[in-house]
């Protein structure tokens, strides 16, 4: 969750996109730029990678060699304020919903772009200042999973997990407390919401799951609330279940890191997907990649539709 047109490459830094093949456990560089910082890959049905950079949305069509910024295809979004790095593809592949710096969610046609449809209305809750940060979508497109940040007139800032109706913008809060939450996404079966939260260990984000009721709200369930998935001293963010449900990918910081900052040494880790469905297994996470990144690496769902690979960004400094 961030708001950045202003984020720029550091001196000597490059912005890179890789694709990771799960079967072979190998990574391949597909994009590198010393001019534009790109973030948060999504993957379309044809393998095209969707990225944000400089407050805009871009398409990266893989062609074999390592590409640079000249290969990026802009997605026009007339009427949309500059966007941050929270954007999610509609299951149809015909549109993308983006989070803009004005706090609203917009639907943008793909692949050619065009006039966007504003989904939310933050003015309706004034004097509370509200901002939406999108991280997931139901498999049938019927609900958006978003973090809703709110600042009261007294200056209190909270972040909670919510479902947003993509047709009306109606917002149903699934958490409403003082615990920092982020990175919420809906599992491919539509039954569970995954997110990271500090409710289990204050100051240290861990992954959690929350069963969804048949009415689209939070189910009471046997446990009566979020169930912890990770339980270590590392700082874990952005859970992403593969479309086939087999793999749970996430971003892991070193112990003691606050929030999800940029330019840290981080790991991309993998757990069995059954943990997202409530299985209780004693399993050690597998570290797939150690990299220089964090913010922007995998903020939003990065999996290919066939679950064979995912895309990620890193930002090394030479």
Indicate the length of the chain as a whole number.
318
Q: What is the pLDDT of the chain when averaged over all its residues?
A: 93
Q: Is the peptide bond before 111 cis (omega within 30 degrees of 0)?
A: yes
| pLDDT for position 214 | 64
Between CA 256 and CA 260 the distance in angstroms is 11
- pLDDT at residue 215 is higher than 80: no
| pLDDT for position 226 | 92
Q: Which whole number is the average pLDDT over 305-309? A: 98
Contact yes or no for 143/191 (Cβ under 8 A): no
| pLDDT for position 221 | 33
> pLDDT above 70 covers what percent of the chain?
95
Contact yes or no for 98/105 (Cβ under 8 A): yes
Contact yes or no for 180/188 (Cβ under 8 A): no
- pLDDT at residue 5 is higher than 90: no
Q: Which whole number is the average pLDDT over 224-248? A: 94
56, 59, 63, 66 alpha-carbon torsion, rounded to 10°: 20
Sign (positive or negative) of CA dihedral 261, 267, 273, 276: negative
| pLDDT for position 297 | 98
Q: Is the peptide bond before 127 cis (omega within 30 degrees of 0)?
A: yes
| pLDDT for position 281 | 83
Burial (0-12, 13-18, 19+ Cβ within 10 Å), 317 = exposed
Contacts of residue 199, defined as CB under 8 A and 6 or more positions apart, other chains included, come to 177, 179, 181, 208, 226
| pLDDT for position 47 | 96
| pLDDT for position 199 | 95
246, 160, 56, 121 alpha-carbon torsion, rounded to 10°: 130
Q: Which residue has the higher pLDDT, 27 or 64?
A: 27
For 65-114, the pLDDT digits (tens) are: 999 999 999 999 998 989 999 999 999 999 999 999 999 999 999 999 99
CA separation, residue 192 to residues 179, 212, 234, 310 (Å)? 20, 5, 24, 21
Topology adopted by domain 15-314: Neuraminidase (2.120.10)
Instruction: Spell out the domain ranges in the chain.
Output: 15-314
Residue 29: beta bridge partners?
Answer: 18
- pLDDT at residue 202 is higher than 80: yes
> pLDDT above 90 covers what percent of the chain?
88
| pLDDT for position 3 | 43
Contact yes or no for 289/316 (Cβ under 8 A): no
End-to-end CA distance of the chain: 27
For 255-299, the pLDDT digits (tens) are: 999 999 999 999 999 999 999 988 888 899 999 999 999 999 999
Q: Which whole number is the average pLDDT over 201-211? A: 95
- pLDDT at residue 190 is higher than 60: yes
For 131-162, the pLDDT digits (tens) are: 999 999 999 999 999 999 999 999 999 999 99
CA separation, residue 311 to residues 1, 43, 64, 89 (Å)? 18, 8, 15, 14
Work out the pLDDT band at 222, boundaries 50, 70, 90.
very low
| pLDDT for position 224 | 54
| pLDDT for position 102 | 95
């Amino acid at each position: 969750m961030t708001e950045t047109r202003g984020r720029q490459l550091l001196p000597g830094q490059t912005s890179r996109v890789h694709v990771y093949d799960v079967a072979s456990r190998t990574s391949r560089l597909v994009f590198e730029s010393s001019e534009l910082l790109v973030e948060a890959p999504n993957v379309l049905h044809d393998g095209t990678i969707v990225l944000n950079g400089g407050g805009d949305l871009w398409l990266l069509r893989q062609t074999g060699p390592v590409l640079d910024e000249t290969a990026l295809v802009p997605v026009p979004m007339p009427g949309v304020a500059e966007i941050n790095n929270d954007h999610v593809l509609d299951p149809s592949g015909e549109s993308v919903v983006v989070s803009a710096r004005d706090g609203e969610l917009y639907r943008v046609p793909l692949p050619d772009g065009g006039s966007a449809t504003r989904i939310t209305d933050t003015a309706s809750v004034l004097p509370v200042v509200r901002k939406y940060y999108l991280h997931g979508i139901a498999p049938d497109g019927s609900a958006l999973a978003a973090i809703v940040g709110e600042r009261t007139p007294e200056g209190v800032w909270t972040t909670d997990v919510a479902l947003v109706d993509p047709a009306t913008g109606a917002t149903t809060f699934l958490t409403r407390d003082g615990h920092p939450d982020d990175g919420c996404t809906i599992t491919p079966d539509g039954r569970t919401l995954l997110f990271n939260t500090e409710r289990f260990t204050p100051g240290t984000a861990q992954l959690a799951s929350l069963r969804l009721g048949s009415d689209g709200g939070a189910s009471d369930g046997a446990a009566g609330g979020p169930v912890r998935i990770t339980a270590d001293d590392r700082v874990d963010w952005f859970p992403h279940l593969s479309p086939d449900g087999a793999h749970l990918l996430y971003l892991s910081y070193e112990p003691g890191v606050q929030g999800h900052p940029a330019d840290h040494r981080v790991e991309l880790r993998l757990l069995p997907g059954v943990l997202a469905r409530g299985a209780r297994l004693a399993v050690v996470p597998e570290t797939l990649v150690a990299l220089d990144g964090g913010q922007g690496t995998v903020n939003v769902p990065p999996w290919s539709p066939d679950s064979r690979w995912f895309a990620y960004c890193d930002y090394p400094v030479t």
